[in-house]
Amino acid sequence: MLRGYRIVSRRQRTRLGEIDLIAIRGRRLAFVEVKRRPSPEAAEAALTPYQRDRIRRAASLWLAQNTRYQSHDIGFDLVLIVPRKWPRYLRDGL
């Protein structure tokens, strides 16, 4: 995966919500939300405070069920996809 990450799970569903990507690089485990919109501003605006909270709750539940990752450093990242441009990766963007 880009930036040296290895994808652990895609579209991971929990009873608290869905996580688009879960990826690992070294000791860092990233929960990644992907937003595709017509403009960068629209992509960033599409992520509401409620969605941010939902992703964090879903990640906590996932970690409780996957104990081998509990000692990892946790990050909440954001990927913004806009037509005709390279994806923008925001580390700790949530």
- Which CATH number belongs to the domain containing residue 10 in this structure? 3.40.1350.10
Q: Please give the pLDDT value at position 14.
A: 87
Q: Please give the pLDDT value at position 2.
A: 59
pTM for this predicted structure: 0.87
**Tokens representing 90?**
């925001």
* 3-class DSSP string for the chain: CHHHCEEEEEEEEECCEEEEEEEEECCEEEEEEEEECCCHHHHHHCCCHHHHHHHHHHHHHHHHHCHHHCCCEEEEEEEEECCCCCCEEECCCC
Asked if residue 47 lies in contact with residue 88, where contact means CB atoms within 8 angstroms, the answer is: no
Overall residue count recorded for the chain in this entry: 94
Q: Please give the pLDDT value at position 39.
A: 85
Give the chain's residues under pLDDT 70.
1-2
- The number of distinct structural domains making up the chain is 1
Q: Please give the pLDDT value at position 25.
A: 94
User: Which residues span the domain enclosing 6?
Assistant: 2-90
